[in-house]
Amino acid sequence: MHMFKSSVLLAALVAQARAQCPSVWTDVATDLKTLFVGSDGTCTDDARAAIRLSFHDCWPGACDGSIILADECGDRTENIQMVGICGTLGDMATDSGVGTADLIQFAAAMGIAAAGGPSITVKVGREDVSTANPENQMPTREDDAATLISAFAAKGFSATELVALVGTHSAARDASGAALDSTIGKMDSNFYNETAAGTAPTSLDSDRFLSNSSQTSSDWAKFGASSSAWSTAFVPAMEKLSLLGNDEASLTDCSSVLTAAFA
Ligand code: HEM
Ligand SMILES: *[C@@H]1O[C@H](CO)[C@@H](O)[C@H](O)[C@H]1NC(C)=O
Ligand SMILES: *[C@@H]1O[C@H](CO)[C@@H](O)[C@H](O)[C@H]1NC(C)=O
């Protein structure tokens, strides 16, 4: 009887511990918000780099922190623009004791919120890995729509999810510093319209191809016409990206911490 009771109690405590977001994330959220929201209320360069870092950590294998822990950031040309944020988040993970893989995804969700984008469900508990993922996995700015569609399909993402995910380029610069839409501090639908119309300060050919290919142009136009249509498609696609190579059932939801930070 006694043993039965205590094992039930233990199981209940374990379930509760799993369900509750560790309180350290509240402090992490405060620090990230300071880093990501600029004095004019739009997002900073650190925020855009953090959003991109999520993609570059997850895509070559899993969302496992290896971009920082195996220094894929320092070793690979496609990551050159993210060396600064890799250092910042690597130090923050060490200092606060949170997982590096988790911090990268948490920071991306914070960056999206800092850019005025939608709330992403953000979970923690990923396994950190310090072995590098295979090289040459990232899509490039020269890729046409068919190439991008098949690369995304190979990872389980639809063409619509692909088009929705590149909406993050609404808060992006290219390597020369030029903005990919006229409202770079805000993650908004202007990006889709301006890319399609050729009126953005600069555009990546990969985005232009998605805007003008028959396989993706209707989604492209739809997201330009309606920011709610975009966020409806973007939110689940971004959450799926943030979980690549991880078992969602073993993770703990920390979304409330993020929401509270921007309340
Ligand atoms: C479809 C495939 C994609 C391609 C070909 C692509 C390519 C690029 C390129 C070329 C840049 C500019 C940096 C440079 O000139 O080297 C860039 C920036 C960026 N990308 Fe992508 N990207 C893709 C998908 C994504 C996804 C899925 C995300 C996030 C979920 C993302 C987030 C960003 C962000 C936030 C920046 C701005 C970085 C900054 O300004 O510091 N991209 N991307
Ligand atoms: C579509 O975009 C590509 C990449 O920028 C460009 O080379 C091509 O001319 C565009 N096609 C049309 C029909 O606008
Ligand atoms: C984009 O273009 C569509 C169609 O012209 C228009 O309805 C929509 O308001 C535009 N969106 C933005 C954000 O300007």
Taking the chain, what is the end-to-end CA distance rounded to the nearest angstrom? 47
- Nearest ligand, CA of residue 228? 3
Q: Name residues whose C-beta falls within 8 Å of residue 124's C-beta, 6 or more positions apart in sequence.
A: 21, 22, 25, 98, 99, 102, 106, 251, 252, 254
pLDDT at 19: 72
- pLDDT value of position 5: 56
Q: Which two tokens stand for residue 212?
A: 């003008």
Residue 210 Cα to ligand 3 midpoint, Å, equals: 17
User: What mean pLDDT value characterizes the chain?
Assistant: 94
Residue nearest to atom 8 of ligand 2 (CA): 209
Hey, is 184 helix, strand or coil? coil
- Which residues of 128-208 form beta strands (DSSP E)? none
Could you give the 3-state DSSP secondary structure of residue 8?
helix
pTM over 0.75: yes
Give the mean pLDDT of 71-89.
Answer: 96
Ligand 2 pocket check: which of 203, 204, 206, 209 to mutate, most ligand atoms within 8 Å of Cβ? 209
pLDDT digits (tens, 9 = 90+) for 2-24: 555 556 555 555 555 557 999 99
Q: How far is the CA of 232 from the centre of ligand 2 (A)?
A: 27
pLDDT at 131 over 80: yes
- Using CA positions, which residue lies closest to atom 10 of ligand 3? 225
pLDDT in tens, 155-194: 999 999 999 999 999 999 999 999 999 999 999 999 999 9
Q: Which of 70, 74, 49, 48 is nearest to 61 (CA)?
A: 70
Backbone angles phi and psi of 43, in degrees to 5: -80, 155
- Quick check: CB of 224 below 6 Å from ligand 3? yes
Contact 221, 196 (CB under 8 A): yes
| Atom 41 (ligand 1) nearest CA | 49
SS3 (DSSP) at 253: strand
